[in-house]
Amino acid sequence: MKKTPKPMEHKDALEMLCPFQQGFLPCEGRNCMAWVVINPRIERENHSGGMDMMSTERAKRNFQEIKKEGYGCDAVLILEEQGICSRLLNKEE
């Protein structure tokens, strides 16, 4: 059975080593041509059910951290973009 890589944020990808580059170079994340966006970035204002919608989306994204910019109901809730390496997908087929 083929195991699909788990989608990750760009900052998490930067902490991994790329198995396709010579030497021990870090992954370039969304700066690499092999990066495929699985879950796009979502921004929502923190009122009128915004937190409920973001919590639902968070559960679909393997409980990704919800970031908050601003204060109170003027804040913006953010779920960062998640992606995977298409070369890793093709390698496992």
pTM of structure:
0.77
- What pLDDT was estimated at residue 3? 67
Residue 29 lies in a domain: yes
Question: Residues 75-90: what's their mean pLDDT?
Answer: 88
Residue 1 lies in a domain: no
Residue 74 has pLDDT above 70, yes or no: yes
- What pLDDT was estimated at residue 69? 92
Residue 2 lies in a domain: no
- CB-neighbour burial class of residue 13 (10 A; exposed 0-12, middle 13-18, buried 19+): buried
- What pLDDT was estimated at residue 78? 94
| Structural domain containing residue 74 | 8-91
Residue 54 has pLDDT above 60, yes or no: yes
Residue 58 lies in a domain: yes
